[in-house]
Amino acid sequence: MSTQGPEVTGFFDYKTFSVQYVAADPATKQCAIIDPVLNYDEKAGRTSTEHADTILQHVRENGLTVQWILDTHPHADHFSAASYLKEQTGAPIAIGEHVKDVQQLWKKIYNWPEDTPTDGRQWDRLFAEGDTFQVGELPARVMHSPGHTLASVTYVIGDAAFVHDTLFQPDFGAARADFPGGSAQTLYRSIRRILDELPGETRLFTGHDYMPGGRAPQWESTVAEQRAENPMVHDGVSEAEFVRMRHARDAELPLPVLILHALQVNTNAGRLPAPEDNGVAYLKIPLNQF
């Protein structure tokens, strides 16, 4: 079995500050696509596939075979392109098993019909804590790392960990924890588990970058760098200190522009609502709930 890490290519979406990844096994040319973005223009109500098609072009140009399409959690700031990429590649789509909890939570918020499925059947695989899989010859495993959302998972593929929205770059901090189902205490424990259990040289790949100080986008760091430099979670920051900082910061943040648009799509594996009798699909926005 190969012991080297994956070749990781990041694709940055300046609109949502999101990072999409292709993690490829150099030995077999098999790859996983992680957190792909479906373009959405909320002003025009229009979706398109430019980001996903760029990833597919990268896959073709590098002779890769898509083995997995992975989401780390149901995103609140962009639509997932997982289902579109499954249509294009035939690869299975997967997410953490606690997406079922998120589906049940948002089913109430959206007042969906009673028969709306909340058992995760929209995905081909629901990963549990400790589950293992492979990307080519590279061993991969799943860490349940909630706090930002109930369903958040970290994918550890070889020497690389895709930490979604738990951590940002070492010059910025950590994810918010004030969404429905979020918890600053739980987020702290998830972060400490990542930083304490993974080797210091482990490469960490974040789900977003907000370019503090106007620097260029970045998305790769190491466990050691995070433990030494991250202002919110460096070694020595206690849970109580983190919770105080997180609550103060979250109180200043507006809801993401697309959260009420995105969750009804992303709890359905990136599938848009079914068209109505006029052939048009519609999003449902709950009013005065937040």
Domains and CATH numbers, the chain: 7-265 (3.60.15.10)
pLDDT of residue 250: 97
In terms of Cβ atoms closer than 10 Å to its own Cβ (0-12, 13-18, 19+), residue 82 is buried
pLDDT at site 2: 42
* Residue 1: per-residue pLDDT: 35
H-helix segments, 3-145:
50-61, 82-89, 99-110
Is residue 191's pLDDT more than 80?
A: yes
112 Cβ contact list (under 8 Å, min separation 6): none
Q: What is the pLDDT of residues 141-175, one digit of tens each?
A: 999 999 999 999 999 999 999 999 999 999 999 99
Residue 249 vs residues 140, 165, 176, 221, 286: alpha-carbon distances, Å: 34, 15, 8, 23, 25
Instruction: Tell me the β-bridge partners of 157.
Output: 140, 160
Cα separation, 183 vs 74, whole angstroms:
16
